[in-house]
Structure 1
Amino acid sequence: MHITPPIAFLLLATLGLNACVSSIKPETKQLDFYDFGLQSNENRVSFDLPIEQLSATDAIQHSNIRYRLNDKNPAQVFGYTESRWSTLPAELLRQKIVNAPSNNTSCNVKLQIAAFDQVFDSASSSHGVVQLQAGLIDRRSRKQLASTLLSAQSTAQSADARGGVAALNAASTQALQQAADWAKQTSQSFSECQTSTLP
């Protein structure tokens, strides 16, 4: 089939335009990664009892920075699309802990992060909430002697991921301090937790 010059020109122009369009990639926003920064002595928490385990529920132990809208549906969980944790929440809390030596008691502490969310009460007001499930464990019998749910919160200074991270940093320190105080006080009620000669 013979193609006249005008038609050939149009075909070439169309092919060239398609090639240009296919070479254009959509602009992608670079993710922002957050942690709790370099820890100072003020942000570190000392435990009198050894920490046997620090974990988080599966819904929390990932890199998404979660938030909730209390004024709309407090049961619905959202995640910031352009912001992520640089490490897992359990590791963020672990970096705050000064652990006790393990040879002076037969009682250990187990901690699990049950909540780790920025909670919005309105479009401009939010706070970070950290909940810890704490348990006191007899290292010999593996029996759980006591347990409790601890909760701490801190006001966010800005209604975004940056403000939420700073609020969760402060709230996690408070929650860990509550756990340390609870473990120390509760262990005094159990003979299993008194000084021992365990290796």
Structure 2
Amino acid sequence: MNLTIARYVIRTRIRTRTGLLAAAGALVIVLAGCAAGGGKEKGGNTLYDFGSSDNPVTATRTAQTVPAIVVTDVTGNPAFDNERMFYRLNYADPLQARSYANSRWSSTPLQLLTQRFKSRVAQAGVKVLSTSDASNGVPLLRIDLDDFTHTFDSATTSYGQLVLRASLFHGHSLVDQRTFSRRIEAGSVDAGGGARALAQAADAVAADMIGWLATQNLRKQ
């Protein structure tokens, strides 16, 4: 093989290898932007929510200790005040929050969590009041969202993570404050798997908060 032919062969192999690497990178990007079934299509996006809230709530003594409560709208990072679905690749760059290209929540995570928590607290037998309907003697539950993300530890393992801070007030005084965190393994490494895991995390945190409220004897305050 002369020098000219050798150079041609080397250049050809480099181009082929580069093309394969580029194709592999493109495949990863496409997979990250795709969503599994289980949502509703709208405007080219697959929409997800938390599903039905008809599942029974485990009986607690919450209604005996907290007969009525104001549950304010969930607040948090402005990133969660839109319909984007966020995911994070811990194995690549844990400091970068990405969003799925073709998958969205049906409404903002803050709105979805607000409705879910109010529904679950009411199902536990507690009367849920709005801020405009409540009297001064009714305790108030304020919820601040810290994290609501589909997180990947590797290309084949992921989980939905929900972290929030709940503050219970009564008579303008802080009664108690607690951070709740749930990490639910995703059944698939796509937007659909993340949505289902985060929905389960929301219900799990709701159950944790209801149990916490049951330890607060607010009738005597």
What TM-score, normalized by structure 2, do the two folds share? 0.65
| Alpha carbons of structure 1 residues 55 and 61: separation in structure 2 relative to 1, 3 Å | same
Give how far 1:195 is off.
Answer: 4.8
Task: Please say if 1:143 is aligned against 2:168.
Answer: no
AA of the residue aligned to 2:201: A
Give me the whole-angstrom Cα distance separating, in 2, the residues matched to 1:124 and 1:174: 24
Give me the whole-angstrom Cα distance separating, in 2, the residues matched to 1:91 and 1:44: 24
| Alpha carbons of structure 1 residues 128 and 61: separation in structure 2 relative to 1, 3 Å | same
* RMSD, aligned CA: 2.6
Unaligned runs of 5+ in 2: 1-42
AA of the residue aligned to 1:89: P
Equivalence map 1:14-33=2 (5 Å): 30-33=44-47
Unaligned runs of 5+ in 1: 1-28
| Alpha carbons of structure 1 residues 158 and 43: separation in structure 2 relative to 1, 3 Å | farther
Deviations 1:77-115 (A, max 9, x none): 110011111111122223332432268964222122221
Matching residue within 105, 108, 114 for 1:88 = 108
**More relative contact order in 1 or in 2 (CA 8 Å, sep 6+)?**
2
Higher strand share: 1
Give how far 1:177 is off.
Answer: 1.1
| Alpha carbons of structure 1 residues 51 and 45: separation in structure 2 relative to 1, 3 Å | farther
Give me the whole-angstrom Cα distance separating, in 1, the residues matched to 2:50 and 2:194: 11
Higher helix share: 2
AA of the residue aligned to 2:71: E
Give how far 1:154 is off.
Answer: 0.8
AA of the residue aligned to 2:189: A
Deviations 1:95-141 (A, max 9, x none): 33243226896422212222110110101110001112101101x2x
AA of the residue aligned to 1:95: Q
Number of residue-to-residue matches in the alignment: 161
SS in 1 for 2:184: strand
Aligned residue for 1:117? 149
Give me the whole-angstrom Cα distance separating, in 2, the residues matched to 1:74 and 1:43: 35
Give me the whole-angstrom Cα distance separating, in 1, the residues matched to 2:143 and 2:151: 22
- Answer yes or no: is the 8 Å Cα contact 2:70–2:138 preserved in 1: no
AA of the residue aligned to 2:92: K
Give how far 1:67 is off.
Answer: 0.7
- Answer yes or no: is the 8 Å Cα contact 1:56–1:114 preserved in 2: no
Larger Rg: 1
AA of the residue aligned to 1:171: A
Task: Please say if 1:108 is aligned against 2:140.
Answer: yes
Give me the whole-angstrom Cα distance separating, in 1, the residues matched to 2:86 and 2:165: 19
Give how far 1:72 is off.
Answer: 2.0
Aligned residue for 1:16? none
Give me the whole-angstrom Cα distance separating, in 2, the residues matched to 1:78 and 1:45: 38
Aligned residue for 2:186? 156
What TM-score, normalized by structure 1, do the two folds share? 0.71
